[in-house]
Amino acid sequence: MKMNGARIMLECLKKEGVDTIFGYPGGTVINIYDELFGFKEIRHILPRHEQAGTHAADGYARATGRVGVCLATSGPGATNTVTGIATAYMDSIPMVIITGQVPTPLIGNDAFQEVDIIGITRPCTKHSFLVRDVKDLALIMKKAFYIARSGRPGPVLVDLPKDVQIAQTEFVYPETVEIRSYKPNLEGHPRQVEKAVAMMLDSHRPVMYVGGGAVLGNAADELTALARKLTIPVTTTLMGLGSFPENDPNSLGMLGMHGAYCANMAMTNSDLIIAIGARFDDRVTGKLGTFAPHAKIIHVDVDPTSIKKNVRVDLPIVGDVKDVLTKMIKQADKLKDKVAEFKTGLASWHGDIAGWKEKHPIGYKNSSTIIKPQFVIQKLRELSDADAIIATDVGQHQMWTAQFFQFNKPRTLLTSGGLGTMGYGLPAAMGAQAAFPGRQVITICGDGGVQMNIQEIATLVQNKLPVKIVILNNNFLGMVRQWQELFFDKRYSSTCMELPIDFVKLADAYGAKGFSTSKPGDVEKMIKQGFKEKGPVIMEFKIAREEKVLPMVPAGAALNEMVLNA
């Protein structure tokens, strides 16, 4: 059947199983919006800012594992998506971003609302397409979704000029797609897997170091099975939280700059690190020269560029983590006697780890007069559903959430790990809630970050998305303030917000509910009250203003040089 480009675009989304998109109208996408009018199969959610729409698509993708989709007009609409795209790119989130573009004859003429969005986003997209002929549109959409979700996932941008949206052609959606220059290697090499298992069984102080790849690759079950089978301790990065249950005795929690003492000590003293879908980020390794000095390294990753980028690797395995872990389990099953012997040999290593856990557990000093943020996080865990989805912003509250919430299931933590984008939490929670209307979705924010996309409360109310917004308010840009306290003689340059915001009134203005307290005794009651509300809620906790995130590895220090109390 003949259709115009705008309609073809929507039909392609339908074919890809897209049920929700986040978009903002404008001059160069008005034809798409005209086709959307009455298009029942796709729910369109109108955020109040394109950046938020992009984060919402990202949150939708992280929570579901499907490709998130957002739509923006040309020029300023397109540039507003850039932070959201870069956020998704750094954390390898599958997304398709559709931008309107000025008509092809005007491209390059500095037309009204024209911007070279392909050029602007080139370094922060996995790939991008400018559609110049409506006949190419269906194939490009097919390729865009395939590229976004396969291999190491990532955002793909499709720039769609207005005249291409109007032009008509026959709509045929390709059944399959073949790109001769793009063939991600998904199957781990069996010989390498055999060698890896042999190395594991020869080790005495092994650690599994697990990143976001285990979550993205849906490999939590396989990871948990292998770690439990071999009783190897597991530490995760911020992005890896949830891939291995933190209530498991072999969990070391998060490692790195604000990681657990036991995790960082285990890495430093290990003789074998098994890195799974992790990329040895500087926030994880600390000073590279002293990182894991005694350890051999096995590195499993679907992206060959992650391997040997920052650290030497003794055994690389390129492949999908789920495939590699499954093969490792099978291989270990063939070596039952060796495995039994290996497990017995780990007793002293487990003893060391238990000692470190006991010596410096993640903790804080509670107070009966002032609310400690860590206490709020613990109460949130206690009172929320087991499958609740938590979206954080970036800063102190993000680290406290990582340290104290205890994540036991994959895809329950949505957080901007790589780019560290303030303003991410609220719109990401919105995207997750749109995907799972029946689940509890909570965003934990600071008073700084929440104000970067605060306008989205309107979207929540309008679309009946009952996100619970927790604000840990210290009236500071707390993480930077903490650095200023520790490393800049308490010169609090521009980190005090000064003007206090009445978040209860603000919630009211948007038609949401708002609660606030500064009393530790009211914390539990208020959380229960907030969770009971049917609609979106702001829960503001006025917390100890100068509470710090500890432990901390100062930037550039070695992992075992942690500041434990300051």
Partner 1 sequence: MQHTISVLVENEFGVLSRVAGLFSGRGFNIDSVSVAPTNEEGMSRMTIVTRGDEQILEQINKQLNKLIDVIKVIDFTDGSGIEREMALIKVTAEDENRAEVLRIVDIFRAKIIDVTPKSYTIEATGNPVKVEAILDLLRPLGLKELVRTGAVTIGRGAKGWKG
Residues with catalytic roles: 50, 112-113, 162, 479
Choices 25-33, 40-48, 114-122, 442-450 (CB under 8 A): range interacting with partner 1: 114-122
Q: Please, are residues 394 and 258 in contact by the beta-carbon 8 Å criterion?
A: no
Q: Is 39 in the site for partner 1 (CB under 8 A)?
A: no
Min dist. Cβ of residue 272 to partner 1 (A): 22
Count of residues that interact with partner 1, criterion CB under 8 A? 19
Q: Is 409 exposed, middle or buried (0-12, 13-18, 19+ CB in 10 A)?
A: middle
Look at the block and give the residue holding tokens 């300051």: 566
Mark residues 327-366: x for contact with partner 1 by CB under 8 A, - for none.
----------------------------------------
Site for partner 1 in 176-235 (CB under 8 A): 179-182
Site for partner 1 in 122-181 (CB under 8 A): 122-123, 126-128, 130, 132, 147, 179-181
Site for partner 1 in 261-320 (CB under 8 A): 303-305, 308-309
Min dist. Cβ of residue 98 to partner 1 (A): 17
Mark residues 59-98: x for contact with partner 1 by CB under 8 A, - for none.
----------------------------------------
Q: Please give the Cα distance from 408 to 398 (Å, whole number).
A: 17
Min dist. Cβ of residue 147 to partner 1 (A): 6
Q: Please give the Cα distance from 158 to 187 (Å, whole number).
A: 29
Q: Which is nearer to partner 1, 183 or 294 (CB)?
A: 183
From candidates 30, 42, 106, 118, binder to partner 1 by CB under 8 A? 118
Min dist. Cβ of residue 468 to partner 1 (A): 39
Min dist. Cβ of residue 301 to partner 1 (A): 11
DSSP character for 444?
A: E
Q: Which is nearer to partner 1, 275 or 450 (CB)?
A: 275
Q: Which is nearer to partner 1, 148 or 284 (CB)?
A: 148
Min dist. Cβ of residue 302 to partner 1 (A): 11
Q: Please give the Cα distance from 543 to 520 (Å, whole number).
A: 9
- What pairing do the DSSP bridges indicate for beta strands 251-254 and 234-236? parallel
Helix (H) or strand (E) holding 158: strand 155-161
**Rounded-to-5 percentages of helix, strand, coil across the chain:** 45, 15, 40
- What pairing do the DSSP bridges indicate for beta strands 2-4 and 168-170? antiparallel
Q: Please give the Cα distance from 96 to 149 (Å, whole number).
A: 9
Min dist. Cβ of residue 182 to partner 1 (A): 5
Choices 9-17, 117-125, 187-195, 493-501 (CB under 8 A): range interacting with partner 1: 117-125
Q: Which is nearer to partner 1, 144 or 432 (CB)?
A: 144
Look at the block and give the residue holding tokens 């507003």: 80
From candidates 119, 289, 351, 438, binder to partner 1 by CB under 8 A? 119
Q: Which is nearer to partner 1, 36 or 317 (CB)?
A: 317
Query: How many CB atoms are closer than 10 A to CB 197?
Result: 24
Q: Please give the Cα distance from 406 to 523 (Å, whole number).
A: 19
DSSP secondary structure letters along 355-419: HHHHHS-S-----SSSB-HHHHHHHHHHHS-TT-EEEE-SSHHHHHHHHHS---STT-EE---SS
**CA dist 266 → 233, 249, 354, 557 (Å):** 9, 15, 10, 17
Min dist. Cβ of residue 121 to partner 1 (A): 11
- Which among 2, 80, 7 is positioned nearest to 37, based on CA atoms? 7
Choices 115-123, 212-220, 391-399, 476-484 (CB under 8 A): range interacting with partner 1: 115-123
Q: Is 276 exposed, middle or buried (0-12, 13-18, 19+ CB in 10 A)?
A: buried
Structure tokens at 331: 């291989």
Q: Please give the Cα distance from 37 to 382 (Å, whole number).
A: 44
Q: Which is nearer to partner 1, 117 or 413 (CB)?
A: 117
Choices 43-51, 61-69, 119-127, 442-450 (CB under 8 A): range interacting with partner 1: 119-127
Q: Which is nearer to partner 1, 43 or 309 (CB)?
A: 309
Min dist. Cβ of residue 401 to partner 1 (A): 32
Q: Which is nearer to partner 1, 87 or 412 (CB)?
A: 87
Q: Please give the Cα distance from 3 to 9 (Å, whole number).
A: 10
Q: Which is nearer to partner 1, 122 or 464 (CB)?
A: 122
Contacts with partner 1 by CB under 8 A lie at: 118-119, 122-123, 126-128, 130, 132, 147, 179-182, 303-305, 308-309
